[in-house]
Copies of this chain bind each other. A is one copy, B any other.
Amino acid sequence: MSDSRPIALDAMGGDHAPHEIVAGAVHAVRERGLSVVLVGAPRVLYEALADHDATKEVPIVRAEEALEMNEGALASLRRPRSSIAIACHLVRRGDASAVVSAGSTAGIVATGRLRLKAQQGVLRPAIAVALPTRPTPALLLDAGANAEVKPEMLVQFAHLGAAYAELAHGIEDPRVGLLTIGSEPEKGNKLVKRAHELLQGSPGLTFAGNVEGHDLLAGKVDVITTDGFTGNVALKTMEGAVRYAFDELRETLSESRLARLGAAMQRSRVRELRRRLDAEAYGGAVLLGLNGTVVIAHGSSKAQGISAACKLAADLSAGGIVSGIADRIAATHRSHRLW
């Protein structure tokens, strides 16, 4: 890690803030060798750090306010001194390399856009989520930052995701799929039909064509571009369906004594699998396209999830995700000028 600047960790966002956030910071520092600064109410954070005997290992930056989990986009305007706003400010000033927050997604997106601003040429920042495909994760974006988009934005989302896939998953020429309702180019609504045409001509992009809902976890492509409405519905549907399948299975397995015996044998393996499918292990979603890296951890994150999110933020930042995106966006613009 060449970047010695710390991760700015929003200590006040998330269902288990601040204690699990603080525990996550301590884990990230001690077990992963990362540099982390906690942003939030100093007294509470100091006490929480003292519980871990870590007051000297993790610095605190004061933030007087915090966004509530149910506060949306507007709160980011009303609260310029919130912990997430201060965390963004640290990155903006160059005092931190990246932001991590488990707070309300709408609040993080709005605050990030307001404080860090979109990168030059980026129409809309988007949320990328890594799906547990093999051998490498597939990136779904936009997973919810933009409910209403234009076809050009879907092309940019593809570039944002491609830059992420190259950097974080080491994939050369990531294959990009467009989420729609049929494999033929003319399948879908007006938005995706036009996006299909644009994607075909976009320089530096390996467009693999349309993908459908059942392809999301099939590992056919490395990046899946979609609008934030469809992407969010698909992501939550997927989470709900996996949970449903496991719940049904547990019920089925507990119905007979013989089956119960088998289930006992397998419990640990099933638990292991479930953890792998759990978004928390992946360190959360990333808000791409801003002048700074912002990782959005699950609201329900505990220490392990927060620590993984800090690692992801550090890796993306050290790998130069922001400049990687800038290069791609600039290349698209140059090519547009040529034509």
Chain A interface (Cβ within 8 Å of chain B)? 72, 106, 144, 147-148, 179-182, 184, 188-190, 192, 212-218, 228-230, 232-246, 248-249, 252-253, 255-256, 258-259, 261-266, 269-270, 272-273, 276-277
Task: Identify which of B184, B215, B229 contacts A230 (C-beta below 8 A).
Answer: B229
Bound Cα distance from A106 to B187, whole angstroms: 10
Give, as a whole number of angstroms, the nearest-CB distance from A120 to chain B.
27
Copies in the complex: 2
Asked if residues B244 and A244 are in contact (CB atoms below 8 Å), the reply is no
Bound Cα distance from A119 to B319, whole angstroms: 59
Task: Identify which of B182, B184, B217, B234 contacts A213 (C-beta below 8 A).
Answer: B234
Dominant secondary structure of chain A at its interface with chain B: helix
Task: Identify which of B237, B264, B265 contacts A237 (C-beta below 8 A).
Answer: B237
Asked if residues B269 and A256 are in contact (CB atoms below 8 Å), the reply is yes
Evaluate whether A246 and B245 lie within 8 angstroms (CB atoms) in the complex, with A233-B233, A234-B234 already known: yes
Asked if residues A214 and B230 are in contact (CB atoms below 8 Å), the reply is no
Give, as a whole number of angstroms, the nearest-CB distance from A106 to chain B.
8
Bound Cα distance from A266 to B252, whole angstroms: 9
Asked if residues A277 and B236 are in contact (CB atoms below 8 Å), the reply is no
Asked if residues B255 and A241 are in contact (CB atoms below 8 Å), the reply is no
Asked if residues A248 and B236 are in contact (CB atoms below 8 Å), the reply is no
Asked if residues B189 and A214 are in contact (CB atoms below 8 Å), the reply is no
